Amino acid sequence: MAIRPIRLFGDPVLRKPALEVVTFDRELRALVSDLTDTMLDARGAGLAAPQLGVGLRVFTWNVDGEVGHLINPDLSLSEDTQDGDEGCLSIPGLVYDCRRARSVVARGFSMHGEPITIEGSDLLARAIQHETDHLDGVLFVDRLDDAARKAAMREIRESEWFGLEKPTIKVSPHPTRGWGF
């Protein structure tokens, strides 16, 4: 449908927990389409609705040629872990080693309200965990150890994009239960 601007680090919507989707309608399908188009255009491995300024529990992924989406995810994580490079479309140019569960089972819904289960490991597991974190207001830099987090924050403050953009606020067409998105 449309390629939309991606919200950058510092935008308050990235720190607010997203609301559960309760209405599976045309607007939701348009959101999934916009997320997919924007993610593919930005060449990302995933994109969550808060990154487009929409506080709903929806994300898309693009891993190893597989493009998909998940709504209202509930994750079961493996006990074994993986370390690997991780970045974020909302924090351009920043890549740090981040520990994640090696595999994940994610249950949720399609944009049509049908229950789905996604099982993944390695990069897919990393992408699903990263995007679900966005839905909880957590950024990957929050998961770094103290030294790496300090270095990442310094790099963010020194970036060309930090603080340049004033966030625009859009109103979700879905019930927000008093949360101002």
Q: How far is CA 136 from CA 13, 48, 51, 57, in A?
A: 11, 10, 12, 9
Sign of CA dihedral 25, 37, 47, 119: positive
CA distance 148 to 97: 8
Contact 126, 84 (CB under 8 A): yes
Residues 131, 155, 158, 165: which is the catalytic one?
131
Q: How many residues does the chain have?
A: 181
Find the angle CA(48)-CA(106)-CA(99) to the nearest 5 degrees: 75
Whether 79 is catalytic is no
Contact 92, 106 (CB under 8 A): no
CB count within 10 Å of CB 41 equals: 12
- Residues with catalytic annotation? 131
